[in-house]
A and B are shown apart, each in its own frame.
Chain A
Amino acid sequence: VLVLLCSLRIPALEFEKLFLPHLDAAYNLARLLMRNRQDAEDVVQESYLRALRAFASFRGEASRPWILTIVRNTSFTRLRDNRSRADHAEYHEELHVSAGHTPEAESLGNERALAVERCVQLLPSDFREAIVLREMEELSYQEIAEITGVPRGTVMSRLSRARARLAACLKNSMGNSLLGGRTSHDL
């Protein structure tokens, strides 16, 4: 009877054990792609349900890129839906972003953090996801390429252009303090 009960519960438990530890990573990615809390939470929940349904196709590869792929695809599907709806309602992304100084970021009380986040939020979503996956999740170019479904060279050029934009944006919002403060180590 014990075996019977255990074998019935194993897939769910195994899934939770593998993927719940990545909930923060999933939420962070969704939060930065969707740009607001409610959408991000919806995306995360939907992604985990999708992941559970797709669990049979999981072959024991790295679990974090696997769940992040689903989060990323769910986010983009939802963004596309939102955009097609927003086109009718004359939705302005720029307005939305500048109005969206989040309580989370404000509570840090840190100007730098606000500026950095704002600059990241202003990036186009392709660039933003590359930056999040590279700088916050510290994934390799190959893993990012697999998650975003583009060649490795595209990941490299996206990161390059994203960082160029970030540099310009940060200089703009913080003056030269960015370059003044953090050039401690050389090659």
Chain B
Amino acid sequence: MTCDELNPLLNARIDDEIDPVQRSALDSHVKTCSACAADLLELESVRNAIRADMPYYTASADLRNQVRSALRGAEYLDRGARRTGWRVWGAIAASVALCALVTAPFFVNARSQRQFVAEELLSAHQRALIGRAWTSFRRTSTRSSMVQREAPVLATCYRPSYRRVST
């Protein structure tokens, strides 16, 4: 391979855009080939000259302001004209959804609290009833057949009810 043919690879070498296998092959070639070594030095000096001395133009404050105000103008007029419809509705929907999301826990809490109170009242009532039934049962009868007949009924009464209660 001639040095001219290798030139693109030498460029890739200084730009670090070469795979490791090619790189080590190229490096060992450059060590033995003075023409390629000179080319490589020249490439590096060109690159250094540009990096060190090439002026980087920066946007003036005027241009920055112009661009910014052009963008804002375009955003509201040009783009806005076409898309205001769905964007406004989207924004309204988003705010409604957010309101719902924020206030939802209060509604849910209030509702479950009411239900909790209702259940507490009911089970207290049930316990009172059962207690009274049990004592009157003990007083009136001690027959085992009676116990067997009544026990399932009592068991259902003791089971706490989590079903929704309509009051």
CB of A135 within 8 A of CB of B50, answer yes
Which applies to chain B's interface (DSSP): helix, strand, loop or mixed? helix
We find that the number of chain B residues with CB closer than 8 angstroms to chain A is: 50
Chain B residue, CB-CB nearest to A183: B41
Chain B residue, CB-CB nearest to A142: B17
Interface code A125-147, partner B: CB below 8 Å = 1, 0 otherwise? 00000010011100011000000
Provide the residues of chain A in CB contact with B79, threshold 8 Å.
52-53
Nearest chain A CB to B79 CB, angstrom units: 7
Provide the residues of chain B in CB contact with A108, threshold 8 Å.
55
Provide the residues of chain B in CB contact with A45, threshold 8 Å.
63, 66-67, 70
CB of A182 within 8 A of CB of B50, answer no
CB of A104 within 8 A of CB of B70, answer no
Provide the residues of chain B in CB contact with A159, threshold 8 Å.
8, 11, 15
CB of B47 within 8 A of CB of A117, answer no
Provide the residues of chain A in CB contact with B91, threshold 8 Å.
3-4, 7-8
Interface code B28-63, partner A: CB below 8 Å = 1, 0 otherwise? 001000000000111111111111111111111001
Residue A1 lies at the interface, judged by CB distance under 8 Å to chain B: yes
Provide the residues of chain B in CB contact with A150, threshold 8 Å.
none
Nearest chain B CB to A4 CB, angstrom units: 5
Provide the residues of chain A in CB contact with B46, threshold 8 Å.
163, 166-167, 170, 178
A131 to B56, CA, bound (A): 13
Q: Which of A18-50 contact B (CB under 8 A)?
A: 20, 23-24, 26-28, 31-32, 40-41, 44-45, 48-49
Partner-binding segment picked from B92-100, B103-111, B127-135, B138-146: B92-100
Sorted from nearest, which 10 A-B pairs have the closest CB atoms? A27-B59, A12-B75, A31-B57, A160-B8, A3-B95, A7-B91, A116-B53, A160-B11, A28-B57, A112-B53
Interface contacts beyond A26-B59, A156-B12: sample of 5 additional A-B pairs, CB < 8 Å, sorted by A: A31-B57, A40-B57, A41-B60, A52-B71, A167-B46
Q: Please list the residues of chain A having a beta carbon within 8 angstroms of any beta carbon in chain B.
A: 1, 3-4, 7-8, 11-12, 15-16, 20, 23-24, 26-28, 31-32, 40-41, 44-45, 48-49, 52-53, 104-105, 108, 110, 112-113, 115-117, 120, 131, 134-136, 140-141, 153, 156-157, 159-160, 163-164, 166-167, 170, 178-179, 181-183, 185-187
